[in-house]
Structure 1
Amino acid sequence: MGVPPDEVRGRIALRFGERSLTYGELAGAAGALAARLRGAGRVAVWAAPELETAVAVTGVLLAGAAAVPLNPRSGEKELAHIVSDSAPALVLAAPGTELPGALDGLERLDVDASAPAAVPGRTASAGTVSDEDPALIVYTSGTTGPPKGAVLPRRALATTLDALADAWQWTADDVLVHGLPLFHVHGLVLGVLGPLRRGGGVRHLGRFSTEGVARELNAGATMLFGVPTMYHRIAEALPADPELAEALGRARLLVSGSAALPVHDHERIAAATGRRVIERYGMTETLMNTSVRADGEPRAGTVGVPLPGVELRLVEEDGTPITAYDGESVGEIQVRGPNLFTEYLNRPDATAAAFTADGFFRTGDMAVREPDGYVRIVGRKATDLIKSGGYKIGAGEIENALLEHPGVREAAVTGEPDADLGERIVAWIVPADPRAAPGAEELADHVARRLAPHKRPRLVRYLDALPRNDMGKIMKRALTDV
């Protein structure tokens, strides 16, 4: 970062609630922190949604060290595993923050976000830093074992953010508003480091609310980043909130990610605001792989085309590439490019298993490609690919069809063993009105009319709510325990 040029120094870089920092003030605070972190190697950051987290990560990067973001909602056992695995030199936190016992063995350094602005002519230097040096170590959700630390090099951050700048026409004139957590790549890399790399601004809501979104967009913000849960709340609020509709209509770009946004919510938002939400696709290990472009067709249900520099292919179970762009042939997404992580920390076995012999990362996500190259994800290989009656069926398209039924508030689709079909399709439904839930036969016919008879659910189970993680993603493995 260094010292920003004079024309940028006074511009607001970060705003969290009522607190803000100009580029000059951020350079001063982060530079002072970086001076104390020289040679630290790895530094844990208590990644609460506050100004100090952004200053801390910026300071760590300026020092040439690697930041290990910690989820404040993680339990003691998970935090203890992350600290033991990553062995950080110390932990950074906002003054007054009470840290859990799992961090007692770490030296603590409070982050001073009010340090004097950087002095022109003086720069914060990390010394010799390579593009391959670690920038972040972000721990995966650990659905199949203890969380793994994905080591993201500095070049992965830079190439992803520059590719998104190309795809989204992202410039210094843009001001981003979001309310995402800062312990993962969506909220931290895209939502904080993205605006800083462009020279624009970010306004973090602290806690997401439709009122906060309307306020910031009406006050000059140009972009909104969110996850499907947030956009669903927006879609639900729009009919009774003309101010929110006006604010969203004023935005230059509405972006959703981290999971598929149901087509029904796409359409409700577009009808009320005249603006279409665009989707992008990425993972902790790969950062961003594809996106609908700002100058492209904002087609609901797709994640657009590969970003500049990203090679993407679909493969059969035996690894044979799928060459058809027919919107029907389902294969696993594999990607290769400078956006990828280098390794899982301390897990050479897992690292080796994650890559093919020719260097492609096995994402575990299943998709089809449309004739014009757009990618449409149909689910995860482990939980969303259902093999029924000789067909390969993606759970995602069935979920979208179910959500188009007026009696369905939430829907998830899984497969379970069936002696005749191999697997049968199971729909998990949260009805819009529990007293008048649509029947199983009605829902099956609804899906069959929209998709195909072999994609209809054979079994329907009703719930009060679907199990979700901190990002709003449905935890399908938990459904079998319900």
Structure 2
Amino acid sequence: MSSLFPALAPAATAAADRPALRFGERSLTYAELAAAAGGTAGRIGAAGRVAVWATPALETAVAVVAALLAGVPAVPLNPKSGDKELAHILSDSEPSLVLAAPGGELPPALAGLERVDVDVDARGPVRAPGDDRAGAGDPALVVYTSGTTGPPKGAVIPRRALTTTLDALADAWAWTGDDVLVHGLPLFHVHGLVLGVLGPLRRGGSVRHLGRFSPEGAARELNAGATMLFGVPTMYHRIAEALPGDPELAKALAGARLLVSGSAALPVHDHERIAAATGRRVIERYGMTETLMNTSVRADGEPRAGTVGVPLPGVELRLVEDDGTPIAETDGESVGEIQVRGANLFTEYLNRPDATAAAFTGDGFFRTGDMAVRDPDGYVRIVGRKATDLIKSGGYKIGAGEIENALLEHPGVREAAVTGEPDPDLGERIVAWIVPADPAAPPSLDALADHVAGRLAPHKRPRVLRLLDTLPRNDMGKIMKRALSHD
């Protein structure tokens, strides 16, 4: 075998007989992956863009590798997308065909597209010409954002962003070909697809995908030789809940080399419960669809709960005021918007030059919309989104995230979200949305306000309490604050 795709997975040549991918009971070695992806790449030809029906299956991984081999941008499609969202993505990206697992049912929105079934047992030509002709700046993926402020936008991610991010994470996490990654993340998003599939392939290691995440599945794989676990806060919360009665799970996590959480902040309470039960700390990293990864707690650094670590190699990061003035203070209190610049960034929003122009500053920094503070040693602590999590109350700029963490430390709180609502005196008052641990005996506003004031500061205490049965979340476990109504 000459190589899988030399520009993106240089280690694959030496790993021909090693396991590359395993989904349930189905697996492929590097040699088998190269042949299967090469065969599919040959069927893609010179398509402009290809859609990938991104189910949690071996075929999805083979399809994306095939597209990279052919030098053709892949558009991962969320199988849970509604008809309207799917129609928008297809109209916007105009793929020439859709890659899917044989026998899988596709929705009517895809009926007009040529379908190419991915045969993971195919043994076609190992190489396709695309990897030689595609440059570092050429598009590799078009990944659609969540569309919280309108229709989803297609972030065009160049090949250099994939290699830059994965190599920076290899540096930060001491990630090598000896690592075996286990995860159950969806494959239509950069966390599960880029980090969780292409990451191990670039190192010459392997990935074991659970199909559907469960603490039991993660424990089984970690106890059977996996070294790393990737997850989102919802997954780690389930792990924290299961740990007291599951010694096998505690043993599995204790033996892992690296436990990584991302896509949203992991509550400090869950950090502490996992650490107490296993002796291992979960580390967090920070990224976005448009930027891939920006920061991480390093494997050789302090795994400090509530932070996303330091900027990755090659990433320039700054905090700015509302008017764009850089914030020089690293006092752990001065809140500013995160802006980043580097080779990890996307190139544009597809067909949206207006949105692309608005997303960047004049000197090339991307406006993330995330608000953060920096500690004296450079660690970044995200306190929320500018649009939904920055609360301006009584002359203070307050991040909702740190209040949520404080609320989650109260024994009467199971889930928490914090928003702001207009107040004639304060400008905005802090609203706590709480799922109580015991619905029959929820905590009072006064008790929660005193609890927060004692941990943070009096001006950060909630002024309004709203009780819920559950918090609205998206597929990645992020709380959808726009669905919380103040009416």
Q: TM-score, normalised by structure 1?
A: 0.98
**8 Å contact 2:177–2:204 — kept in the other structure?**
yes
* 1:456 alignment partner, one of 453, 456, 461: 461
SS of the equivalent of 2:293 reads strand
Name the structure 1 match of 2:15: 8
Counterparts of 1:250 and 1:449 in 2: how far apart (Å)? 36
Corresponding residue for residue 198 of structure 1: 203
The alignment status of 1:100 with 2:104, answered yes or no, reads no
What are the within-5 Å matches in structure 2 for residues 209-220 of structure 1? 209-220=214-225
Which residue in 2 is equivalent to 1:369?
374
Is 1:145 paired with 2:141? Answer: no
Q: Is the partner of 2:429 in helix, strand or coil?
A: strand
1:26 touches 1:117 (CA, 8 Å); kept in 2? no
Match of 1:59 among 50, 66, 72: 66
Amino acid at match of 1:282: G
**Counterpart check, 1:323 vs 2:328:** yes
Question: Shift of residue 124 of structure 1?
Answer: 2.9
SS at the partner of 1:176? strand
**Contact 2:12-2:204 at 8 Å conserved across structures:** no
Decide whether the 8 Å contact of 2:144 with 2:153 is kept in 1.
yes
The aligned residue for residue 36 of structure 1 is 43
Match of 1:258 among 240, 259, 263: 263
Q: Is the partner of 1:280 in helix, strand or coil?
A: strand
Which letter does structure 1 place at the counterpart of 2:289?
T
Partner of 1:125: 129
Q: Report the AA paired with residue 99 of structure 2.
A: L
Q: For 1:251-286, what per-residue CA distance to the aligned partner results, in whole angstroms no more than 9, with x for missing partners?
A: 000000000000000000001001000000000000
For the 8 Å contact 2:12–2:30, the answer to whether it is kept is no
User: Could you say what secondary structure the match of 2:440 adopts?
Assistant: helix
Corresponding position of 2:286: 281
Contact 1:2–1:31 (CA under 8 A) maintained in structure 2: no
Offset of 1:38 from its aligned partner?
Answer: 2.3
Query: SS of the counterpart of 1:436?
Result: coil
Rounded Cα–Cα distance in structure 1 between residues aligned with 2:449 and 2:152: 37
Q: Does 2:53 correspond to 1:46?
A: yes
SS in 2 for 1:213: helix
Counterpart for residue 424 of structure 2:
419
Q: Distance in 2 between matches of 1:481 and 1:218?
A: 46
CA distance in 2, matches of 1:332, 1:410: 26
Kindly provide the amino acid, as one letter, of the partner of residue 465 in structure 1: T
- Deviation track 1:415-464 (CA, whole Å, cap 9, x = no partner) reads 00000000000000000010111111101110000001100000000000
Distance 1:447 1:361 in 2: 33
- Structure 1 CA distance for aligned equivalents of residues 124 and 445 of structure 2: 63
Give, in whole Å, the separation in 1 of the partners of 2:42 and 2:117.
Answer: 14
Query: For residues 315 and 402 of structure 2, what CA distance do their matches in structure 1 show?
Result: 25
What is residue 20 of structure 1 aligned with on the other side?
A: 27
In the alignment, which residue of structure 1 is the partner of 2:306? Answer: 301
Tell me the number of residue pairs that the alignment of Structure 1 and Structure 2 aligns.
Answer: 479
Query: What's the counterpart of residue 405 of structure 1?
Result: 410
Deviations 1:306-337 (A, max 9, x none): 00000000000000000001000000000000
The one-character-per-residue Cα deviations of 1:50-103 (angstroms, maximum 9, x if unpaired) are 000000000000000000000000001100000000000100000001100111
Deviation at residue 10 of structure 1 after TM alignment: 1.3
Letter of the 1:259 counterpart: A
Whether the 8 Å contact between 2:49 and 2:72 is mirrored in structure 1 is: yes
Separation of aligned partners in 1, 2:15 and 2:167: 19
Q: Counterparts of 2:341 and 2:430 in 1: how far apart (Å)?
A: 33
Please give the residue correspondences for 1:230-269 in structure 2 after superposition, counting only pairs within 5 Å: 230-269=235-274
Give the aligned partner of residue 448 of structure 2: 443
Instruction: State how far apart, in whole Å, the 2-side matches of 1:2 and 1:185 are.
Output: 19
Q: Which amino acid aligns with 2:37?
A: A
Q: What secondary structure sits across from 2:431 in the alignment?
A: strand
Gaps of 5+ in 1: none
Distance 1:6 1:145 in 2: 44
Q: 1:223 to 1:211 in 2, by over 3 A?
A: same
- Distance, in Å, in 1 between the alignment partners of 2:359 and 2:342 is 14
Counterpart CA distance in 1 for 2:269 and 2:260 is: 16
Aligned counterparts of 2:140 and 2:14: Cα–Cα separation in 1: 28
1:123 Cα deviation after fit: 3.1
**Which residue does the alignment assign to 2:89?**
82
Identity of aligned residues (%): 82
Gapped runs of 5+ residues in structure 2?
none
Q: Tell me whether 7-16 or 167-176 shows the greater mean CA deviation.
A: 7-16
CA contact (8 A) 2:75 2:143 kept: yes
Secondary structure of the structure 2 residue equivalent to 1:248: helix
Shift of 1:128: 1.4
Structure 2 distance, partners of 1:82, 1:52, is 21
Point out the more displaced range, 31-40 or 295-304.
Answer: 31-40
Answer yes or no: is the 8 Å Cα contact 2:421–2:486 preserved in 1: no
Which residue type is aligned with residue 56 of structure 1? Answer: A
Q: Residues 318 and 7 from structure 1, CA distance in 2 versus in 1: closer, same or farther, beyond 3 angstroms?
A: closer
Contact 2:157 / 2:346 at 8 angstroms: preserved in 1?
Answer: yes
SS at match of 1:297: coil
CA distance in 2, matches of 1:5, 1:378: 40
Instruction: Check the 8 A contact 2:420/2:429 in 1, yes or no.
Output: yes
Which residue number in structure 2 is paired with residue 159 of structure 1? 164
Q: What root-mean-square deviation, in Å, do the aligned CA atoms of Structure 1 and Structure 2 show?
A: 1.1
Alpha-carbon distance change, 153 to 6 in structure 1, aligned in 2, over 3 angstroms: closer
For residues 163-178 of structure 1, the aligned pairs below 5 Å read 163-178=168-183
Matched AA of 1:185: V
CA deviation after TM superposition for structure 1 residue 125, in Å? 2.5
Q: Which of 439, 445, 466 does residue 471 from structure 2 map onto? A: 466
| Secondary structure class of the residue paired with 2:155 | strand
Using the TM superposition, give the Cα deviation of residue 5 of structure 1 relative to its aligned residue in structure 2, in angstroms.
6.5
Contact map agreement 2:12 2:201 (CA 8 A) in 1: no
Name the stretch that deviates more: 236-245 or 34-43: 34-43
Please report the TM-score for the alignment, with normalisation by the length of structure 2.
Answer: 0.97
